[in-house]
Amino acid sequence: MVKSKKILTLSVPLVIFLIACYFLFQGLYTDPRKLESTLIGQTVPEFTLQDLYDPDKQHDASIFKGQKLLLNVWATWCPTCYAEHQFLTKLAGQGLYIIGMDYKDNRIKAIKWLTDLKDPYAISLFDKDGMLGLDLGVYGAPETFFIDSKGIIQYRHVGDLNDRNWQDKLSAIFDNME
């Protein structure tokens, strides 16, 4: 009886350790660009944020209704956002409606960025504290949400938008939204 109790006492920590190793090992093979969003199929969370250019102007979730669009989360501290910016300008030039959300950033630097690089955004939100980003489940920048005309999030893309991933997959997702 004492021997079986000793085996049980030693085997419980071993089983817990093996289970933990299994989950940690799984994480090594997870593609961070394929992070699932719990908001797919749901409306954009309610919020009130300042306009980037005009702190006296407020925006709410109603800006996401009426036409399909992209919500691009970006920041001046993000080198990948810089690389993505030219492609976003190209998409805006083709008539895509893009709302930008400056995420955890400095307003003055962000305005200079958009002035120097050309502003592709129809509306620029200023999420200084990252609260809307938190509600959306943003891990960092850049991230882009595909939102249909009813304000429902249809897809989330982690990483930059570029010619290759737009042509390979993303344009079809955007084109097939209402």
Long-range contacts of 12-21 (CB under 8 A, 24+ apart): none
102: pLDDT strictly greater than 80:
yes
Cα 2 to chain centroid, rounded: 56
Q: Before 120, cis peptide (omega within 30)?
A: no
What's the pLDDT score for residue 27?
Answer: 46
Domain 33-176: what homologous superfamily?
Glutaredoxin (3.40.30.10)
Q: Which of 20-24, 51-55, 149-153 has the lowest mean pLDDT?
A: 20-24
Structure tokens at 178: 């209402």
Rounded Cα gap, residues 75 and 83, in angstroms: 12
Which pLDDT does position 39 carry in this prediction?
Answer: 87
- Residue 53 pLDDT > 90: yes
CA dist 88 and 121 (Å) reads 9
pLDDT of amino acid 36: 55
Per-domain boundaries in the chain = 1-30, 33-176
pLDDT at 109 (0 to 100): 98
Mean pLDDT of 18-31: 49
Task: Tell me: pLDDT of 48 over 50.
Answer: yes
Position 104 pLDDT exceeds 70: yes
Residue 138 pLDDT: 94
User: What CA–CA distance (Å, rounded) separates 68 from 100?
Assistant: 14
% of the chain surpassing 90 pLDDT? 77
**DSSP 8-state symbol, 49:** E
- Judge residue 144's burial from the number of C-beta atoms within 10 Å of its C-beta, 0-12 exposed, 13-18 middle, 19 or more buried: buried
Instruction: Tell me the pTM.
Output: 0.81
